[in-house]
Amino acid sequence: DDEFIGFASLPDQVHRKAVKRGFEFSLMVVGETGLGKSTLINSLFLTDLYKDRDLPSSSDAIERTVEIVKKQLEIEERGVKVRLSVVDTPGYNDSVNGDENWRPIVDYVDRQFDQYYQAESGVNRKNIQDTRVHCCLYFISPYGHGLKPLDVFMMKQLHNKVNIVPLIAKSDILTPKEVKRLKTKVLEEVQNHGINIYQFPECDSDEDDEFKEQDKALKSAVPFAVVGSNTVVEVAGKKIRGRMYPWGIVEVDNPKHCDFVKLRQMLIGTHMQDLKDLTSDIHYENYRAEHIAKESE
Ligand code: GDP
Ligand code: MG
């Protein structure tokens, strides 16, 4: 698949090591029910992660996610294997009063840290399975006018534990102008509420111009406006993933239609290692320090 770009840009040493060991990467999707989380992860990895549920292949319907499910798959790019885990979560309800179904999501993240910590202090430290969540795709409703109180709450529960990458869900229902407005609003609110979202690293000054341009385009697209689809439609004889409307077809893979390609490029290509490093060096270290402090109390 020549659309994948990225591993080639890793420094040689990192690249060699990665080729040998393969990458382990865990991605989590979080947000209200019905925002297209399950659909998007299917689209991202061009695979039907839910095929074992025996749905007719032409159907766009995915069963409602009622519990946290982890799906694993292996992808390969330029000889580099990635063992990918996708953690799909049920959407929490919109009612804040007493309804605590956001908690299992936070607990899941904590539990992976805990397991890693246990493994690290065990005998067989060389071959630890890294199930820590390296990235959380946070889905924001296209119907609202920015973050909802529950989004703010949820993101704050997660932002010191995991790299949050915010997304505008189902962006095909908005006009380009509305997308732009919502993006600006979301970034403002993220800032005002003191939410830490994933910060793209500064681009090395010795990178070539093409890389710099690409990096800039990625950064400026946050929060990525995405469209997911399980339906394959035909455009000019070519089969593509898209959503059909009376006025035309929204193509998932068309950069003019949404930021899907940018998101995938960042996750699977250019920024996977950085997401892993931050998880290990910042989020996990935070957890460890807290854990040790608690133990010595
Ligand atoms: P989840 O509850 O967040 O996992 O949402 P689902 O993936 O189950 O999708 C909920 C509904 O929204 C389904 O009917 C999907 O076909 C539809 N849907 C998913 N992604 C999109 C999208 O990008 N645009 C539009 N318009 N509908 C979508
Ligand atoms: Mg779902």
Q: What does the pLDDT look like over 205-263, one tens digit per residue?
A: 788 888 888 889 999 999 999 999 988 888 888 888 899 888 888 989 888 999 999 99
pLDDT of residue 60: 47
Rounded (10°) CA dihedral 125, 130, 132, 133? 160
pLDDT band at residue 135 under the 50/70/90 scheme: very high
**pLDDT of 175 above 90:** yes
**Cis peptide bond N-terminal to 201, omega within 30:** no
Share of the chain above pLDDT 90, in %: 45
Distance (Å) from CA 161 to ligand 1 centroid: 27
Q: Ligand 1 in contact with 225 (CB < 6 A)?
A: no
- 5 has a pLDDT exceeding 90: no
Q: 294: CA distance to ligand 1 center in Å?
A: 42
Q: Is 250 in the pocket of ligand 1 (CB under 6 A)?
A: no
122-131, 275-284, 285-294: lowest mean pLDDT where? Answer: 122-131
ipTM score for this prediction: 0.99
Residue 112 has a CB neighbour count (10 Å cut-off) of 25
CA–centroid distance, residue 297 to ligand 1 (Å)? 47
The pLDDT value given to residue 46? 66
The least confident of 8-12, 95-99, 271-275, 281-285 is 95-99
Q: What is the mean pLDDT of residues 164-193?
A: 97
| Residue 33 near ligand 1, beta carbon < 6 Å | yes
Contact 276, 134 (CB under 8 A): yes
Q: What is the average per-residue pLDDT within 165-176?
A: 96
Identify the residue whose tokens are 């804040």. 96
Span from the CA of 37 to the centroid of ligand 1 (angstroms): 7
pLDDT value of position 142: 97
Q: Is 236 or 161 the better-scoring residue by pLDDT?
A: 161
How sure is the predictor about 56, in pLDDT bands with cuts at 50, 70 and 90? very low
3-state secondary structure the chain: CCCCCCHHHCCHHHHHHHHHHCEEEEEEEEECCCCCHHHHHHHHCCCCCCHHHCCCCCCCCCCCCCCCEEEEEEEEECCEEEEEEEEECCCCCCCCCCCCCCHHHHHHHHHHHHHHHHHHCCCCHHHCCCCCCCEEEEEECCCCCCCCHHHHHHHHHHCCCCCEEEEECCHHHCCHHHHHHHHHHHHHHHHHCCCCCCCCCCCCCCCCHHHHHHHHHHHHCCCEECCCCCCEEEECCEEEEEEEECCEEEECCCCCCCCHHHHHHHHHHHCHHHHHHHHHHHHHHHHHHHHHHHHCC
Region 91-119: mean pLDDT is: 79
Whether residue 173 has its Cβ less than 6 Å from ligand 1 = yes
